[in-house]
Amino acid sequence: MLENIPYHVAIIMDGNGRWAVERGLPRAEGHKAGVSNLESIIIAFRNQGVKYLTFYTFSTENWLRPEEEVRALIQLLADSLKANISSLVAEGIRLNHLGRRDRLPSDLIKTLDSTIKATNKNTSITVSIAFDYGGRDEIIYSIQQLASQGADLLNLSEEQISDNLFTNNIPDPDLIIRTGGDMRLSNFLIWQSAYSEFYATDTLWPDFNPEDVNKALEEYSHRERRFGKI
């Protein structure tokens, strides 16, 4: 096992659509391949000692995609949770959801809640699914929560905002990985990633494998994190 393992890794899973197009397949097939890739990646990170893993699966901006693709993504998440709940429990994986709930179909919310409840006592790794999630939206949500609590908005602390984010029960990410070659955060964990290390790879998400996991962790192990200090 590598030394200096990140406690929390967050992943921007980019490249599903391009993976499908390269193979002459509908984009939906790329998303299916991406979901099929999750379990082996979760196990690979868990086996290296990572305790928190977050996947950026559907952003607040993804609602602007074609309606058919949006419906397919929602159904894909619901079907995946139903099909894998037993293996999540068996592997000791605790599921968490980050993001808005008010725009999600009631059937998906029911499936999310039942899966979260079934895995609540698992301790090997906590996997957060960021679905209908946006970093700016999350910050606005936090301030709205504080306002509803009667907080002094002119004298807010970082701790107050952090405590009212969707991620209030998990640590900030140590490492953010982006597949697919692009070099941007795309509105993902923008508050929490202030001092995260960033790792990008050209590998498209459906092709990202345990060997790629080891490469990312190996790179991280050589980083020196100073958090603004010398």
Annotation says 62 is catalytic = yes
Read off the tokens for 32: 């299916």
Q: What are phi and psi of 107, to 5 degrees?
A: -65, -40
Task: Please spell the DSSP secondary structure of 121-133, one letter per residue.
Answer: T--SEEEEEEEEE
Annotation says 14 is catalytic = yes
Whose CA is closest to 136, among 192, 216, 176?
192
Q: What are phi and psi of 220, to 5 degrees?
A: -60, -40
* Catalytic-role residue among 14, 132, 172, 174: 14
Read off the tokens for 106: 């009631």
* Catalytic-role residue among 37, 62, 169, 212: 62
Task: Please spell the DSSP secondary structure of 120-169, one letter per residue.
Answer: TT--SEEEEEEEEE-HHHHHHHHHHHHHHTT--GGG--HHHHHHTSTTTT
Kindly list the catalytic residues.
14, 62
